[in-house]
Amino acid sequence: MNEQSAESAGGAAGTQGIPSPIPVTRATPVGKGFKITLGVLIALLLAASLAALSNVVFSVVAALFLALALNPLIAMLQRRGMSRGKAVTLIALVFALIAGVFLAILVPLAVRQTIELVRFLPGGLESLSNQPWVLRLNEVSNGGVDSVLKTIADAIASPVFWSSVAGGALRLGSTIVGLVSSGVFIAVLVLYFLISLKSIKRGFYSLVPASKRHSTIYLTEKITDSVGRYLGGMVVLALCNAAFSLLLLTLTGVPFAGVISLVAFFVTLIPLIGTILTTGMMTVFAVIHSPLAGLVVLVAMLIYMQVEAYVMTPKVMSKALEVPGAMVLISATAGATLLGLPGALIAVPVAAAGILIVRNVVVPRRSKQ
């Protein structure tokens, strides 16, 4: 016993003089700096790659959203006994027919009326300044209206304006060519997403851990279904607005009704404020044509806005994601600032999906802590 105790005591004494090794997990300042620098470089590389592939990323995202918008229609055809492949083929043929009619009829009409509108502006402003109600406003404002109209007319008559118009036309032509090529690419992707949407979802679900798979499937199905209904509903409301605008402007005799209605369709896609912008635009063109026409257009559009807000929108958007009005305005403005009109259109469903995730994932986790 004494010898064993002595040996253990001697061993302990012998190891006291040996320095312990540095723990491997202890990070040195150089190592921390290297990791931070490497992380920043990887982030910059990813950002540069996304910027270089921005058009491709946008096309993929746009195709995915369009596929989600068309998926409820595909599901409706499937419930009526049609296979998914036949339903996708039917929808593709219908939209190809619509696109053909659009390119053959509406585009030449819009181009012709746009050219006529540019030619009409100088003379239209001059005739507007000679109308009695404008003359009375000019007297009340001590020549303020006349000075404003003269400033606009001088700007239109300047060579700088027409050079800007010519440059804009060239840029518009190149933009249209790029849009056509992007449109073909997006159309092919939409067909692929529509055909393989279920398999894509199954592949995504297989990557999720089994413990979280049920909640992930629930949230994904709810988000995709609601986003599809939202986007489809926005297109339906925009078509109704454009058709009503075309009918109203035609009945009141306002020129360039076709191109104004076409612009109204795309502007109305902007959530919450699109109809207000189209109402103001249509009223301005109607007032230039005739004060009575402007009054009729304004009153008719105000009535239409009430019908759209309290009758059409609740029926079309009954199963879409609900988003507070302030969130709609903020997200639409942010999306329009980043990506223009497409950004304003997809910003609201993205915000709604974020709200849904917060309500179903973040809030329950916080309540358990």
Report the SS3 class of residue 19: coil
| Residue 14, pLDDT score | 46
Last residue of a domain, one of 207, 236, 271: 207
116-122-124-130 Cα dihedral, nearest 10 degrees: -170
> How many domains is the chain built from?
2
| Among 189, 177, 231, residue whose Cα is nearest residue 92 | 189
Residues 68 and 199 in one domain: yes
Residues 68 and 144 in one domain: yes
Query: In whole angstroms, what is the distance from residue 173 CA to residue 344 CA?
Result: 24
Residues 168 and 271 in one domain: no
Query: In whole angstroms, what is the distance from residue 54 CA to residue 62 CA?
Result: 12
Residues 185 and 232 in one domain: no
Residues 255 and 351 in one domain: yes
For residue 277, how many C-alpha atoms fall within 13 Å in the half-sphere facing its CB?
15
Last residue of a domain, one of 177, 207, 237: 207
Residue 216 lies in a domain: yes
Phi and psi of 254, rounded to 5°? -75, 130
Burial of 134 by CB count in 10 Å (0-12 exposed, 13-18 middle, 19+ buried)?
A: middle
Residues 117 and 239 in one domain: no
Query: In whole angstroms, what is the distance from residue 323 CA to residue 329 CA?
Result: 10
Query: Tokens at residue 257, please?
Result: 């009704």
Digit-by-digit pLDDT tens for the chain (369 residues) are 444 554 444 444 444 555 555 454 455 777 777 778 888 888 888 877 766 776 777 778 878 888 887 888 888 888 888 888 888 888 888 888 877 877 777 667 666 766 666 666 655 655 666 666 666 766 666 666 666 666 666 665 566 555 565 555 556 556 556 667 777 888 888 888 888 888 888 888 888 888 888 888 888 888 787 777 777 788 888 889 999 999 999 999 888 788 788 888 888 887 777 888 899 989 988 887 888 888 999 999 999 998 888 888 777 765 566 666 677 777 777 777 777 766 777 777 778 778 778 877 777 777 776
| Residue 118, pLDDT score | 64
| Residue 62, pLDDT score | 79
* Side chain identity, residue 180: V
Cβ-contact 286, 296 below 8 angstroms: yes
| Among 114, 244, 247, residue whose Cα is nearest residue 176 | 114
Query: In whole angstroms, what is the distance from residue 274 CA to residue 347 CA?
Result: 14
Residue 161 lies in a domain: yes
177-181-186-191 Cα dihedral, nearest 10 degrees: 130
Q: Give rounded-to-5 percent helix, strand, coil for the chain.
A: 85, 0, 15
Residues 237 and 312 in one domain: yes
Residues 85 and 156 in one domain: yes
Residues 162 and 221 in one domain: no
Residues 331 and 259 in one domain: yes
Place of tokens 């995730």: 357
Query: In whole angstroms, what is the distance from residue 159 CA to residue 198 CA?
Result: 57
Residues 312 and 192 in one domain: no
Residues 259 and 349 in one domain: yes
**Residue 269 belongs to domain spanning:** 210-363
Query: Tokens at residue 315, please?
Result: 């029926």
Residue 40 lies in a domain: no
Last residue of a domain, one of 207, 238, 267: 207
